[in-house]
Amino acid sequence: MEQINEAAVGRDRGCRWRAALATTLATCCVAPLIAASAQAAALGSGVSPSHSCGAPLGSEAGCSARHPQGGSRRELVRSIPPSPPISAPIATPQPATGRAPRILSLPPSPLTAITTGLFHSCAVEASGEADCWGKEYLAKPHPFKVLEENEPKWVTGIESATTISTGAFFSCVVLRSGKIACWGKGEYGQLGNGQAISTEELQTVSGVTNAVGVAAGGYHACAVLASGAVECWGRNNHGELGNGTTTASLVPVLVGAITNAIGVSAGFEGEESCAVLSTGRAACWGANAAGQLGDGSAHDSARPVNVSGITDATAVSASGGHACAVLASHAVDCWGANWSGQLGNGTTTDSRLPVRVLGIEDAVSISAGGRSSCALLSTHQVACWGGNNDGQLGNGTETISTRPTMVAGIANASSVAVGHNQACAVLTTGGAACWGGDGYGELGFGVAQRASLTPVAVSFAHLVPGEH
């Protein structure tokens, strides 16, 4: 176990660092990642890891859910070790050997949530700050310039975040006050501030004061409120706002007939939205060309429709023309587009009704991406299936898999998020690892490359507490 020289690190890491770790620090050493248990193997082939079922660790970043105490349902990391010196070198990609990614720099305070969208990723620290990396579109000065960050940078002005979600070219964060702030591209009103503008400045979503979760889609966003209602805003070409119209809205509108939502998801490539309800039902609305609403039809719906046969869902995630739900039994059902095997049922045939993902019996959360899906297992491992052109399955190959395969080297994940062609996981060390496409630095390990076929550690080496 590597010993940390507290004097070298600096005892005064800033008030946020001390506050975030005051109740969790129990030692002055950094625990290395748990070694990977085995080479990546297909769950569908009958290889299922042994485990003891536990309570859910939390929902994925793109699909926030209510916590019984009123916050995000993501569980805060327990017993987080302190960070190593910020001058530590960044991690380098690991070969496809099944080894865990080396964590050589942790964030100033442990991560509690992570999200990845089209070409950028973001995370929330226990201190309430937000870090983002990858491709961002900035509106100052106008016209847009593209900023590509290969390592996390703090989002200026955010110090009380509880959860975060990234869409196509914008991001939204829920604050401890219950308000939502969004920034980035907003030409369809997806920033929710009453204007069709794009800006790098934080914009308060109009009228929302009691949000407990947010989901950013391609050009729209949705929030679940403490009351159980859902509100959406932005583009509405296929009824993805759920208010019975196809008219875009610059401010939040109430989704019809939903009063008991505990989580919401907005597809960033499929223009659909889904919510999981306290009754165990899943309801979806918006685009339905591939059957992603799960009601057996291929007709768009501007109002929520029940997903057929789902009565005991605990989490739902939608994107890329498909959606998936975790059931109370810890199995996973998916429906919609399946050209890359993203439904996980051993075929590449679309399904307008839910189908069972093969071999998954211990899922605690789910994330659907552009062409793939991933589930967090009760063993803290991650299983993924579907498209793999950029290594987004994390198994060391670029071959699609119509059945779940294990992500190499991940044995201590606490949440998972899938984006366009990449995926990321929060680890119990307090850091994060990402894998897949990295053309714009969306993996966050310091050097942009085409892709990484196995997980690499996100580098937080340049985040100095108190320096924004």
pLDDT single digits (tens) 163-187: 999 999 999 999 999 999 999 999 9
- Tell whether pTM > 0.85: no
398 Cβ neighbours under 8 A, 6+ residues apart: 388, 389, 390, 391, 451, 453
207 Cβ neighbours under 8 A, 6+ residues apart: 251, 252
Q: Are 274 and 326 in contact (CB under 8 A)?
A: no
> Going along 299-449, which residue ranges are E strands?
301-306, 313-319, 322-327, 332-336, 351-356, 363-368, 372-377, 382-386, 401-406, 413-418, 422-427, 432-437
Which domains does the chain possess? 44-81+101-457 (2.130.10.30)
> Which tokens hold the place of 466?
């108190």
Q: Are 160 and 128 in contact (CB under 8 A)?
A: yes
Most confidently modeled of 26-30, 392-396, 445-449?
392-396
Pairing of strands 282-286, 451-457: unpaired
Q: Are 169 and 118 in contact (CB under 8 A)?
A: yes
Q: If you average pLDDT over residues 123-135, what whole number do you get?
A: 94
- Provide the pLDDT confidence category of residue 10 given band limits of 50, 70 and 90: very low
- pLDDT at 54 > cutoff 70: no
- pLDDT at 345 > cutoff 50: yes
Run of H or E including 9:
helix 6-9
Residue in this structure with the two tokens 């916050």, named with its chain if needed: 71
Residue in this structure with the two tokens 């110090």, named with its chain if needed: 159
Q: Are 213 and 229 in contact (CB under 8 A)?
A: no
- Provide the pLDDT confidence category of residue 101 given band limits of 50, 70 and 90: low
